[in-house]
Amino acid sequence: MNPEISIRDASNGDMGPIQVLMSTYFLDIEGISSECFAVAEKQGKIIGAGAIIKDTFPEIHSIAVHPNYRGTGIGTSLIHHILSRIPTGSLVYARTTCPAFFESAGFVKADPSKKAEIWDDCAGCDRLNTCKQSVMCLELK
């Protein structure tokens, strides 16, 4: 990754730029606090962000990199940064339409039936059987 790019925990003041970045990919971050996010920053501008929520289990909820910086390792660096907050031995999940990205970070595809088992919003969804999201899982070692 470019040495001009730094990864850090987000602050409350970062939420505006994070919202703009996430909206580029139609990602909903409503109700997620700044403490859940990490950001990638270059020359004072946020060019990437990722969130992990730890309700019932750790879940990478949202991750996005500005289109001009995709494919440069920023997303993977954000994942590593936010995973450092999670205890060893934990199972971390993600729902994604881009499973190859998560596989490159060490995640494996879980059985699609897991969605209904672990996410209430999936269990009640009338499109569960036709959903395009993959369930990804990583055991932290």
**Phi-psi domain of 100 (left: phi exceeds 0; alpha: psi -120 through 50; beta: other):** alpha
User: What's the pLDDT tens digit per position in 123-133?
Assistant: 788 887 788 88
CA distance 9 to 87: 17
Domain housing 56: 5-139
Domain count, the chain: 1
> 0.85 cut: is pTM over it?
yes
Residue 109 has pLDDT above 90, yes or no: yes
CATH number at residue 86: 3.40.630.30
Rounded-to-integer distance, Cα 104 and Cα 17, Å: 27
Name the DSSP class of 97. Answer: S
pLDDT computed for residue 1 by the predictor: 64
Per-residue pLDDT of 14-43, as tens digits, reads: 999 999 999 988 888 889 999 999 999 999
CA 107, distance to chain mean position in Å, is: 12
At 45-93, the pLDDT tens digits run: 999 999 999 888 999 989 999 999 998 999 999 999 999 999 999 999 9
